[in-house]
């Protein structure tokens, strides 16, 4: 069961990384011909609290899979922060990952994930033009000071404000 949760987080993180490697992320110095999105009103809330971040937003679609990513590579609380979602067939959330190099329990990296078909968690998508909102519950990391408590479900709401969706 734990390997399914790790696979879900890994899948979503890999989608975000793939977007970044392709050079489609916005650094607010774009030219009109650049196929990227602006920071706009992209936001992430976890457990009812808005994450304080300056997100770069990346949105790309290829072969029926939509990959959405928010990044803040110098976040005060979470270090290198990545928030991502993978959507299949236009409306099915396959994976969600929120990960930071710091900010987790007991000094560990921060991690929250959802994977379709894996036990625990939920996710649904709503769309308004090119703004995508993913809501649900993800599986949070284990508190190392109390590992017997196991992982916990944590609610999230992520808004990906895409001015452009790159088609591949």
Each residue of 19-45: pLDDT tens digit?
333 334 443 333 233 334 444 699 999
The reported pTM is 0.78
- Buried-state track 114-146, b at ≥16 Cβ within 10 A, e below 16: bbbebebbebebeeeeebbbbbbbbbbbbbeee
Sequence spans of domains, the chain: 2-25+54-167
| pLDDT exceeds 90 at position 116 | yes
User: Alpha-carbon distance 74 to 81, whole Å?
Assistant: 8
Q: Are 156 and 96 in contact (CB under 8 A)?
A: yes
117-164 pLDDT, tens digit per residue, is 998 899 999 999 999 999 999 999 777 778 888 888 999 999 999 989
Contacting residues for 79 by C-beta, under 8 A, at least 6 apart: 100, 101, 102, 103, 109
| pLDDT exceeds 70 at position 61 | yes
| pLDDT exceeds 70 at position 52 | yes
| pLDDT exceeds 50 at position 79 | yes
pLDDT of res. 149: 82
Report the percentage of the chain scoring pLDDT > 90: 61
Mean of pLDDT over the chain: 81
User: Alpha-carbon distance 140 to 155, whole Å?
Assistant: 10
């Amino acid at each position: 069961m734990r390997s399914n949760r790790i696979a879900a987080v890994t899948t979503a993180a890999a989608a975000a990384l793939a977007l970044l490697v392709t050079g489609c992320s916005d650094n607010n110095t774009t030219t009109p011909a650049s196929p990227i999105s602006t920071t706009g009103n992209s936001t992430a809330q976890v457990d009812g609290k808005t994450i304080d971040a300056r997100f770069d937003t990346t949105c790309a679609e290829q072969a029926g899979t939509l990959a959405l990513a928010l990044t803040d590579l110098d976040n005060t609380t979470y270090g290198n922060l990545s928030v991502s979602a993978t959507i299949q067939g236009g409306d099915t959330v396959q994976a969600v990952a929120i990960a930071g190099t710091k900010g987790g329990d007991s000094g560990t990296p921060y991690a929250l994930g959802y994977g379709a078909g894996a036990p625990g968690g939920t996710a649904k998508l709503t769309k308004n033009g090119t703004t995508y909102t993913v809501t649900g519950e993800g599986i949070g990391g284990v508190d190392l000071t109390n590992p017997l408590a196991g992982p916990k479900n944590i609610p999230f709401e992520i808004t990906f404000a895409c001015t452009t969706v790159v088609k591949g």
